[in-house]
Amino acid sequence: MAEDLDALYTQTINEQREYLAKLQQGFNEHCDAITAESEARLAKNPETDMESRQQIFEDQKRKLDAAISHLRNEIDTSGRETRKKLEEINNRREEEKIHDLEKMMDQVG
């Protein structure tokens, strides 16, 4: 049973790592799309139209800020969930150890 809990603990950590890698990849792709969109909009505006260009940069910054905020929220949420799962696994490990010690004491006593 302890081996099962060890495997579950490792699996939980690996799943979190994989999820974070997917989040990072999605975030990077989203930021690249935002940047490409801004670059396309800038290419359509004359360099002398500073007001429009400034608006494009502000829009880009707003979208990137929203993306990083979303990423942070996802990381925080998944981190809390993973910690909770790992704590539950550790609690079960401790319960097993206590149960095993009680069995040993019963056999000795």
Handedness of CA 37, 39, 40, 44 (dihedral sign): positive
**Residue 108, pLDDT score:** 83
**Residue 3, pLDDT score:** 86
- pLDDT, tens only, 60-94: 999 999 999 999 999 999 999 999 999 999 999 99
Quick check: 1 pLDDT over 90? Answer: no
pTM, whole model, 2 decimals? 0.81
Quick check: 25 pLDDT over 80? Answer: yes
Query: What is the token pair recorded at 83?
Result: 């910690």
